[in-house]
Amino acid sequence: HQTAVMKNVIKILPFTISLFFVLLWSYAAISKIIVFRNFRSQLGQSPGLEAYAGLVASGLIFLQLLAIGMICYRSYRLLGLWMTFVIVTVFTGYNGFILMDSNNLPCTCIGLFEKMTWKGNLNLNMGLMITALVGIISMKAGRSKMKK
C-alpha cells in the first residue's frame, strides 16, 4: 500500500509543482508587463541594477515567460523547473545582498507581494527554491521509476 501511495505522489507532485510555477510566473510576468514603466523605475533604484534596469526588467519577463513555456511542454518540463530554480536562486542571492548591504529600501515587488519586506521576500524565495528542487527531484524519481 505504501509503495502505491509513493508511486502516486511521485506522479502527481511534479505536475502539481509545475502547475504552481506556471500560475506564479504567469501572474508575475503579466503584473510586470501591466506596470512595466513602474517596474523598470523601481529596478533602477535598486543597488547594482541602476544602469541595467531596462535590460533586467525585460530579461526577467522574458525568462519567466520562457520558463512557463518550458514547463507547459512535458519534454521540457524538467528544464523549465531547473530554470525556475536558477531564477529563484538568483532572486534569493540578490535579496540576501540587499539585506546585508542596504538600509530601508522599498521592495520592488508588485501585485500580491508589493507590501512584502525584503526579509519576507527572502523567506518566500527560499521556500520557492525548495519547492522547485522538490519538483526536480520528484520528476527525476518518476522518470527513473518509468525506466525500470
Tens digits of residue pLDDT in 68-99: 999 999 999 999 999 999 999 999 998 888 88
Q: What is the pLDDT of residues 18-53, one digit of tens each?
A: 999 999 999 999 999 999 998 898 888 887 888 999
Q: Is the separation of the CB atoms in 132 and 88 below 8 Å?
A: yes
Q: Cell digits for 19? A: 502547475
Give the amino acid at 128.
L
Q: Residues 120-140: what's their mean pLDDT?
A: 93
Q: Tell me if the pTM is above 0.75.
A: yes
The torsion angles phi and psi of 130, rounded to 5 degrees, stand at -65, -40
Least Cα distance to 84 among 37, 125, 40 occurs for: 125
- DSSP label at 103? S
Q: Cell digits for 73? A: 511542454
Give the amino acid at 80.
G
